[in-house]
Structure 1
């Protein structure tokens, strides 16, 4: 019985890790959204920084995806370049917010993080 449970646990972990590696664009956007909510609410510098890192990871992974609006466009076409530019803008904002958090300036980092919403809204209008 114990061996069976161990095997099932290992298979579950393996399946979860391969799912995380193969996340699609919608999953990445969900991860961005969930962690953004944490960034705006937490008072813990460590939680704030971990959520920013999770956002950065999701944003980086999302560059591999294609928004539904661009499914029939060339992978290196101007529309996809514009999509990636928007993601790079967000990553730059995340990095600046992380720098402030690393300096212990949580409220300044959170203030900057509130600007992520404008980046999101601008790019959602274009690509969603």
Structure 2
């Protein structure tokens, strides 16, 4: 994994983390038909912020699909690392492993995610 690919992957994971932190499933039945969920009458007239939010949601959903295929310990390592990057200090840790082992699991998760995200054209290969 090159440094550029690692930076792109970190950016994608941070986008996923912010989306996952804000995303909450609604319980019960939706008032909107399944074919029209996520569609607004303002979609044709959206501004740049709306467009960015939709792109970030799409990116986060793609990363979420890839993350869901990883084993639980690797997903936990990604979540803990993203939480620590979101706050100014290293606050969160996994009580089941040492910090070195946590970092090793995070790197292993990144190595596993890289080919999956390449297949989905989420990582740009710069030659």
TM-score by length of 2: 0.32
With a CA cutoff of 8 Å and minimum separation of 6, indicate the structure with the bigger relative contact order. 2
